[in-house]
Amino acid sequence: MEVMKETPKTHYIQGFSEFFIESTLHRTGSLGIEIARADGVTFGRPRLEIDGLFITAYQEWKGGQITATEAMRRSGMKKPTFYRRVKEYETSQ
C-alpha cells in the first residue's frame, strides 16, 4: 500500500473530510443528541405514571375483587410496567 505525500491538495481533502465527519456527528450522532437534550428534547416512549386509574385497579386487585390481568387492562399497562409501578407504589406508601 502506497502512502500519499502531504500536498496542499491532500491537506485540503483531509480538512474537508474532518469537517464533514464533525458536521455529520453533530446532526446525527451523540453530539447532536447531547445538544438536543440540553435544549429540553426528550427521547423514548412517554412514561406511564401512577394515576387514579392505576390506584383504583391496584386497590381492587389487592382486595381480591379483580385479577392482576384485569388490573393491568384497566390501568392500560403491560405486565412489566404494571409490576414496576406496583413496586413503586408500595414503597411510597
The pLDDT tens digits of the residues spanning 22-50 come to 766 566 667 777 888 889 888 888 888 89
pTM for the whole structure = 0.57
State how far the alpha carbon of 51 is from the alpha carbons of 21, 45, 47, 68, 82, in Å: 46, 17, 12, 17, 12
pLDDT greater at residue 29 or residue 82 = 82
Closest by Cα among 78, 68, 73 to 53: 73
pLDDT value of position 20: 72
11/56: higher pLDDT? 56
Q: Are 34 and 57 contained in the same domain?
A: no
Q: How many domains does the chain have?
A: 2
Spatial CA neighbour of 79 closest among 90, 89, 68:
68
32 and 64 share one domain: no
Q: How many CA atoms lie within 13 A of 82 on its CB side?
A: 19
- Within a domain: residue 43? no
pLDDT band at 4 (very low <50, low <70, confident <90, very high): low
Listed in sequence order, the residues at least 6 apart from 26 whose beta carbon sits closer than 8 Å to its beta carbon are: 32, 35
Q: 75 near 50, Cβ under 8 Å? A: no
Q: Residue 33: give the domain boundaries.
A: 8-38
